[in-house]
Amino acid sequence: MKVLLIGANGTIGRAVRKQLERHEVVTAGRNEAELLVDITSPNSIKEMYLKIGKVDAVICAAGATFFGPLTELTPEKNEQSIQSKLKGQVNLVLLGHEHVNNSGSFTLTTGIIMEDPIVGGISAAMVGGAIKAFVESAAFELPRGIRINHVSPTVIAESIEKYGPYFPGFEPVSAYRVAKAYQKSVEGGQSGKTYRVY
């Protein structure tokens, strides 16, 4: 199976790559990847797909969001989340389904805070909820048996130093456990699902 992994150098991306190493995994990202892509740019996404050709699965473990209190959330800061985490992932599907083989799949990334909010996570929670709705709706309409799911993890143990203060009382999970959910999406047969890793 040929798998396109966007965000392969992040904490989750590295674990997913290791979990799927028996497949042909092609990495993509803003730097230090086999294919360079800026998911905020539709033209960059188009160029990536033209370079890679046909694939069996597309995974996105990338997307920037703003973390901070509501009083600091400006339209400009919120737009960062919309352009990257939301529109970036949606555009990977809109511009990529013709490059995915029959019965292939897309796996996007959301997070626990879309269902279990935290202080300072409004922007990230908002786009996570939007991606969830997109996945559930797109599952009905993707052609040729193409599937789509999203993985919704809690805070990652390997990132606890950076993000732990935002998640008081949350039980962290290992990147390995999260990567297993991506494997389930890629190698399984379900569509329109939320794979919660809490």
Give the Cα separation of 84 and 70 in Å (integer): 19
State residue 161's pLDDT score. Answer: 92
Domain total of the chain:
1
Q: Which pairing describes strands 147-153 and 194-197: parallel, antiparallel, or unpaired?
A: parallel
Encode pLDDT of 36-88 as tens digits: 999 999 999 999 999 999 999 999 999 999 999 999 999 999 999 999 999 99
Rounded to the nearest 5 percent, the helix, strand and coil shares of the chain are 45, 20, 30
State residue 23's pLDDT score. Answer: 98
Length of the chain: 198
Torsion of CA 27, 31, 126, 118, to 10 degrees: 100
Averaged pLDDT, 169-192: 98
* pLDDT confidence bin for 28, thresholds 50/70/90: very high
Q: Which amino acid is at 108?
A: L
Encode pLDDT of 92-150 as tens digits: 999 999 999 999 999 999 999 999 999 999 999 999 999 999 999 999 999 999 999 99
Give the Cα separation of 135 and 23 in Å (integer): 24
> Cα 166 to the chain's mean position, in Å?
20
CATH of the domain at 51: 3.40.50.720
Count Cβ atoms below 10 Å from residue 176 Cβ, excluding itself: 13
Closest C-alpha to 46, from 112, 103, 81, 97: 97
Residue for token pair 């590295």? 14
State residue 89's pLDDT score. Answer: 98
Give the Cα separation of 66 and 79 in Å (integer): 9
Give the Cα separation of 27 and 7 in Å (integer): 7
Range of the domain at 87: 2-197
State residue 120's pLDDT score. Answer: 95
